[in-house]
Structure 1
Amino acid sequence: MKKLLLLFPTILCALLVSSQEYFPKNDGVSHPNNTFTAFTNATIYVTPSQKIEGGTLLVQNGKVVNVGKNVTVPANATTVDLQGKHIYPSFVDPYTDFGVEKPKRQGGGRSAQYEPSRSGYYWNDHIRTDINAYEKFKFDDKKAKEFVEAGFGAVSTHHQDGVARGTGMVVALNTQGNNNERVLQQKATQHFSFSRSLEMQQAYPSSVMGSMALLRQMYYDAQWYEDGNSTTKDLALEALIAHKNLPSIFESGDKLNNLRADKVGDVFDIQYTIVGSGYEYENINEVKATNATYIIPLNFPDAYDVSNTYQAAYVSLSDMRRWNQAPQNPKTLADNNITFAFTTHDLKSPKELIAKVRKAMEYGLTFEKALEALTTVPAQILKNNRVGNLNTNAHANFIITSGPLFEKETTLYENWIQGGRHEINDMSQKDIRGKYELMVAGTAYELAITGEPGKPKAEVKQDTVKHKSNLSYTKKWMELSFTKDDETYRMTGIVSNTSDDLSGRLVLPNGNETSFRARKTGPAEEAGEEKKAEEKSSPQVMPVTYPNIAYGNSTLPRAQDILFKNATVWTGEEAGILEETDVLIKNGKISRIGKNLSAGGAQVVDATGKHLTAGIIDEHSHLALSSVNEGGHNSSAEVTMEDVVDPDDIGVYRALAGGVTSAQLLHGSANPIGGRSAVVKFKWGENAENMIYDNSPKFIKFALGENVKQSNWGSNSRFPQSRMGVEQVFTDYFNQALEYEAKKKSGKPYRHDEEMETLVEILNGDRYISCHSYVQSEINMLMKVAEKFDFNINTFTHILEGYKVAETMEKHGVVGASTFSDWWGYKYEVNDAIPYNAAIMYNAGLNVSINSDDGEMIRRLNQEAAKTVKYGGVPEYEAWKMVTINPAKMLHIDDRVGSIKEGKDADVVLWNDHPLSMYSKPEKTLIEGAVYFDLEQDLQKRNAVKKERNDLITMMLNEKNGGGKTQAPRQKPQRDFHCETDHLEEGFHTHH
């Protein structure tokens, strides 16, 4: 290094001491420094794609003045020779809460808060668009030091609380400056999430679907407000409107929430930058289709400690896979041309970042993409072209390293921020890591120095015996000691710049002094490093399946042309049951039904002695949902279950194994007016959108009884509290809907209200009601309310006292009664339930179906239908209709599914025996001609799961034995939603 010029003698002397500092430390006296500093002879990355060998970086007043191969260095410049060293732009983290106090959960009683607590702001407290990070910011020196030592020069920070979180700011991490200098952008971004505020107690929203509906309504209200239609001042909406041109960053934290956030944005032509989950590779095609830029956490999970075979059984295959597959996430994003930045969000400390990036590179991420994700892409997200690069006039934020960034042996020496130097490791201090032959008092030992260059650690061995040792290294002085047979040997020496060997004074255990010598024999290696390096050169990554859990598909099922020969065909139509009949499936449809059909190139399945039926349809299910109840209001007509369909639910595969092909996914029964339904096909492995019926019939869940009046959780703050209050809820909301529609039709400006839009659809016959019901008095009540507003109830579901009011229901025009076969006595409302209910309603002329409302019962709905034969003597053929064509008619999809009829969708099941028999199993379950369950393939999948688990367990044991970090096994609770499920999602604390 060249001596610095034009500095007074004391500083020149300081250059001669061991630390060789070329700038004085900050002693509290500040004055303008207008001198130039030239960093010469370095490998400089101006941007990830612009590299200069032997270049010069010239900085002044905290800015880059020039950079290049032939930069003219002013005569009065301070020159720093960086021969052999590298310069990179300092990193930028686009998603932190640096310097902003973390939100604290507020306490509350059992009764929820339903009204907002702030006057003059939005009607929902979780919309906090008026919060500005800069008003809450306090520079955190300790945390800044962590970021600086990890290579960061600037971060974006905001208050991470609420559904709409206000604005974020961009801050330089210059520990030597002040906030006037550090704050690069006071209002740089605006932030959103699906998580309710910890600091606010308003009950709504209590679910992801509630948060989605709230965000949609917020944007509609902002449009209404901006157009000057509101007579009430709203500071939250004004802030949202004022910030609408700022980049919108959405924390999803979940691979399905990525898509949900984008879905909200698409309604209003907003392209969010999405803070992802780290598992985007699992549904990469859908992620790519969002066209979003992503901020990706590098929270790769540690291996599980599976040494205990009993505990190992707790860990699911999907969790094992995520440990194995997650490091490939950045490469998968890059391979799909998805723009992404990295964040330290979800890491315990910024210092973990480099190791995580290095691991991602072992899984195929390129150097350039890794550097982009830490520099130019986050700067692009923040719309700040003065950070993340070293172009002229950029902030002088750069790091100096000993060699190529991300390589394990590379040392990060300094991080310059706004032209201020932050020393991380002494650049003049030699890296002494390596293997040595240590000679002490005539005895040879093996010495291995590993760890970080500035904080090395030592291991002393004689043969295979390790001796306890300590090492410190600073200011070129090394102090090493080890203990053998309770005797301690102490060594001190100065490290030479001209020799790789170490030598110096040795103090023997008896106090005598002599010398030691350590001859370097090779590079540094951690324990087991050779084996680990070999493994990491080509990590074995398990293939991703659809979904990426046990029993997922390696490829998505596709429609096949299949001819079932000689089956007993339960048509579900007037034709009845046809013996020894052929059914031809072509192009996803039922093409022909008859005898002696020709295959015409179709796959032939011998169905002799077997039964072919339409796929079972469940009118009432809560499978494949991420949430089931939005109980924050007594009406949640604005939410839709289509927003929260979860295609990864293993219950879907189990349902297919029971012959179920379609279902209505209903909102729960937390409130009288629930959410809109999702009518789906159980296409295992498809995404949520592809599971939902095209041109889906519109349904909504209503509920009566104990749940909606909150008997089950003792709340006394939300209306209704009684059954007569429930009736008033319906009347009030329908009257509001009539007023809303009248205003809408008047041609005058009106505030778009998603809740009212849904209720108007009911009044106009465009949306059907499935009503959770038990007691006859309430069933009669709702029919009277419907008649008052001139519409009919489509379906009473559960309807366990339906036998009492069957004739009244038939007269009212109820489309269907969907009930349990033999559930009774499990709560007060069902004390009068009887197992003959379905038969009595059937005999009264009602369209009756048997539903599950249960993730286990759905697998045996064929047996539940059979119980109606026992209880009430329903004919077998009619009993079978109760789980096929009857629910299809209730759901208004009978033109597509529910029976075997030419032209209908090929949603069929091949049973190995009579379909109403408890011994019968589906051998094949088809949806639109594609085989989604096959009994033989299921056995193969079971064996494959066992093998894969064993392979992953072996990998994790090797990781542990190689010194890798592990976490304790944990068992995830089994998920099974019901109507009354008290759904507590991450970030939510509510009552249902």
Structure 2
Amino acid sequence: MNRRPVLRRAALLLAALLPLSAAAQDVLIRNATVHTATARGTLQDTDVLVQGGRIAAIGTGLPAGSAQVVDAAGAPLTPALFGGITAIGIEEVSGEASTRDGALALGQNARDITVRPEFDVTLAYNPESILLPVARVEGIGFTLLNAGTTAGGSIIGGQGAVVRLDGSPDPIGPKALFVSLGARASSLSGSSRAGQWMLLDQLVDEARGRIPADSRFALLTPAGRATLARYLDGGGRVVVAVDRAADIRQLLRWAHKHKLKIAIAGGAEAWKLAPELARAGVPVFVDTLANLPGNFDRLGATLENAARLHAAGVEVGFSQSDDASHNARKVRQLAGNAVANGLPWEAALAGLTRVPAQAFGVADRTGTIAVGQPADLVLWSGDPLDVAHTARQVWLGGRAVPMRSRQTELRDRYLHPAPAPESGALPRAYPPRVD
């Protein structure tokens, strides 16, 4: 049997799964529709020159020199996209507990509440996760690792950070602290959302030293006190998962009182407080697929959430509420849905690029197309906010990403199987039966 096609496919898959360790190649992307996600907006028939992994020039008629030339023929070129707030790299199989590292469970009931803000999910990040190439081939270049809440944990899930999906092992930005509020977290706060504010106020008092560390009522370890203290007085971004307008109102008051720099994840009813959110400078990462009153915290959900927030001056980003790690590609659908319901196209693209990069402290590393920026780029077959179109090529740090993943390999394997062995009609993935 000819094993060369099998070996070739195996080599392609291995290349897709390994970190992007090869040196960046100089590239000139010619005649593209360049969506910069900056104040320059969209540039027609424009060239982008990449040298040494960074964007060296943007213009027309740029000389190629020794750079490889890619003719975009007018196709869209965007920054690599934000995959949302996910567990990419800290979760492999959602149904297998041994592969999930994104949440801490140390206590099993209210008497055993254990609050560990020092818990840092980035320490479990696996840059060789099978999910990285699955996301990369969809044009996704970075994500915020989520420290989630779970039974036996607390409303403070822990810390995460932004990682680039280029195979590098470490975060590229500052840590963010994750908090869950509302009905989704009431089981972690004595079965009452009112208890959440009581607990949060106590934790702040502990971090500020107003409750002695040796008090029998203390909830934080010394490391937890030091960690939480870093986020007070604007010291770091606190990402709060919350939907109901009443809870968001309390959150704004609480954040103002303690001088916290917050971002909202979810925010199904955030549009009701759009002016207040704009005045406070709070970005909101919405899930436009969660547009029905699926629970009592989302009775005011609407397809126009993103558009109404933007109209009021709120910075809008996108992130899925459910299954974000395995279906990160859906963030484009979220943005496209928002455009279909009134959000300007450029604002939707910014919500997938510039807005999250700025919100999470990595604007100098990714999120825009500008001279001097790392070359995290995607060339598309058409409108990137239309799911009918796909990424033709992705570059991260100027390195061309192999446009292969385990999913594409499986697709190709079973759509175009090799000729079945003479002994039977089964695909080659199955050994011939021996009677």
TM-score by length of 2: 0.81
User: In the alignment, is residue 650 of structure 1 matched against residue 124 of structure 2?
Assistant: no
Kept in 2: contact 1:703–1:772 (CA 8 A): yes
Provide the secondary structure at the position in 1 that maps to 2:88.
coil
Please give the residue correspondences for 1:441-840 in structure 2 after superposition, counting only pairs within 5 Å: 552-553=17-18, 556-625=21-90, 626-632=100-106, 633=113, 635-670=115-150, 671-683=154-166, 686=167, 690-694=168-172, 696-710=173-187, 719-739=189-209, 753-789=222-258, 791-814=259-282, 816-823=283-290, 824-840=292-308
CA distance in 2, matches of 1:875, 1:703: 30
The aligned runs of 1:141-290 (5 Å cut-off) are none
User: Structure 1 residues 547 and 829, CA, compared in 2 at 3 Å: closer, same or farther?
Assistant: farther
What is the distance in 1 between the residues matched to 2:165 and 2:51?
20
SS at match of 2:338: helix
Task: Give 1:876's aligned residue.
Answer: 345
State the Cα deviation string for residues 865-901 of structure 1 (Å, max 9, x = none): 1222221x22212221111111111112112211100
For 2:328 and 2:20, locate their aligned partners in 1 and report how far apart those are by CA, in whole Å: 26
Q: Tell me the secondary structure at the aligned position of residue 795 of structure 1.
A: strand
CA contact (8 A) 1:697 1:891 kept: yes
8 Å contact 1:792–1:813 — kept in the other structure? no
Q: What is the aligned partner in structure 1 of residue 110 from structure 2?
A: none
Task: Give the aligned partner of residue 424 of structure 2.
Answer: none
1:177-203 deviation line (CA, Å, top 9, x unaligned):
xxxxxxxxxxxxxxxxxxxxxxxxxxx
Confirm or deny that 1:893 pairs with 2:362: yes
Aligned residues of 1:913 and 1:920 also touching (Cα < 8 A): yes
- Say which of 391, 397, 409 aligns to 1:922: 391
Name the counterpart of 1:862.
Answer: 332
How far has the Cα of 1:753 moved from its partner?
2.2
Give 1:867's aligned amino acid. N
**Displacement after TM superposition at 1:763 (Å):** 1.3
Shift of 1:804: 0.9
1:705 is matched by which residue type in structure 2? G
Q: CA deviation at 1:926?
A: 1.2
Task: Judge which range, 892-901 or 579-588, deviates more.
Answer: 892-901
Single out whichever of 637-646 and 590-599 deviates more from structure 2: 637-646
Paired amino acid for 2:371: E
Structure 1 residues 742 and 615, CA gap change in structure 2 (3 angstroms): farther
Aligned to 1:163: none
Deviation string 1:812-837 (CA, Å, 9 cap, x unpaired) is: 332x1111123132322212111111
**Hey, what does 2:217 align to over in structure 1?**
none
Say if 1:619 and 1:851, in contact at 8 Å, map to a contact too. Answer: yes
Instruction: Tell me, yes or no, if the aligned pair for 2:117 and 2:228 is still in contact at 8 Å.
Output: yes
- How far apart are the structure 2 equivalents of 1:591 and 1:729? 50
Q: 2:10 & 2:211 partners in 1: Cα distance?
A: 48
**CA distance 1:603–1:627, shift in 2 (3 Å):** same
Q: Aligned in 2, Cα 1:547/1:733: closer, same or farther, shift over 3 Å?
A: farther
Unaligned 5+ segments in structure 1 are 1-540, 711-717, 744-750, 962-992
Letter in 1 for 2:303: P
1:586 CA displacement: 1.0
Query: Any idea what the Cα deviations from partners look like across 1:534-568, whole Å, max 9, x if unmatched?
Result: xxxxxxx9899899879534984542111100000
Matches within 5 A, 1:271-420: none
1:858–1:938 Cα change, 3 Å: closer
Q: Please give the alpha-carbon distance, in whole angstroms, between the structure 1 residues aligned to 2:302 and 2:407.
A: 38
Determine whether 1:849 maps to 2:317.
yes
1:663–1:680: 8 Å Cα contact kept in structure 2? yes
| Bigger Rg, which one | 1
Letter matched to residue 335 of structure 2:
A
The aligned amino acid for 1:708 is A
Can you list the C-alpha shifts for 1:502-545, whole angstroms capped at 9, x where unaligned?
xxxxxxxxxxxxxxxxxxxxxxxxxxxxxxxxxxxxxxx98998
Residue 581 of structure 1, CA deviation: 0.4
Equivalent pair of 2:119/2:159 in contact (CA under 8 Å): yes
d(CA) in 1 for partners of 2:51 and 2:13?
Answer: 29
Distance 2:71 2:407 in 1: 19
What amino acid sits opposite 2:69 in the alignment?
V
The equivalent of 1:214 in structure 2 is none
Corresponding residue SS for 1:899: coil
Q: Which amino acid aligns with 2:269?
A: E
Identical aligned residues as a percent: 25
What's the CA shift for 1:655? 1.6
Change (3 A) 1:925 1:732: same
Structure 1 equivalent of residue 216 of structure 2: none
CA shift for structure 1 position 740: 7.8
CA distance in 2, matches of 1:708, 1:939: 37
Superposed CA offset, 1:896-942 (max 9, x none): 21110001111110001122223211001111111224379997896
Instruction: Give the secondary-structure state (helix, strand or coil) at the position aligned to 1:709.
Output: helix
| Contact in 1 for aligned 2:146/2:160 (Cα 8 Å) | yes
Once the two structures are superposed, what CA deviation does each residue of 1:120-164 show, in whole Å capped at 9, x if it has no partner?
xxxxxxxxxxxxxxxxxxxxxxxxxxxxxxxxxxxxxxxxxxxxx
Q: Indicate if the aligned counterparts of 1:865 and 1:882 stay in contact, CA closer than 8 A.
A: yes
Q: What secondary structure sits across from 2:401 in the alignment?
A: strand
The whole-number CA distance in structure 2 between the counterparts of 1:797 and 1:663 is: 14
CA RMSD in angstroms comes to 3.4
CA distance in 1, matches of 2:104, 2:257: 27
TM-score, normalised to structure 1, is 0.37
Does the aligned pair in 2 maintain the 1:615–1:661 contact within 8 Å?
A: yes
Structure 2 residue matching 1:708: 3-state secondary structure: helix
Q: Distance in 2 between matches of 1:546 and 1:826?
A: 45
Structure 1 residue 617, shift from structure 2 partner: 1.1
CA contact (8 A) 1:618 1:663 kept: yes
Asked if 1 retains the 8 angstrom alpha-carbon contact of 2:18 and 2:128, the reply is no
| Gap change, CA 1:893 and 1:551, over 3 Å in 2 | closer
After superposition, the C-alpha distances for 1:817-861 in whole angstroms (9 at most, x for unaligned) are 111123132322212111111111111111111112423542132
Question: How many Å separate the matches in 1 of 2:13 and 2:227?
Answer: 35
Which residue in the other structure is 1:204 paired with?
none
Check whether the contact 2:232–2:260 (CA below 8 A) recurs between aligned residues: no
2:96 matched to which residue of 1? none
Counterpart of 1:838, as a letter, is A
Between the two proteins, the alignment pairs up a number of residues equal to 397
Residue 797 of structure 1 and its aligned partner are, at CA, apart by 0.8
Measure the CA separation in 2 of the matches of 1:546 and 1:762.
Answer: 46
On the 8 A contact 1:705/1:774 being kept in 2, the answer is: yes
Q: CA 1:719 to 1:887, structure 2 compared with 1: closer, same or farther past 3 Å?
A: closer
CA shift at 1:663, angstroms? 0.6
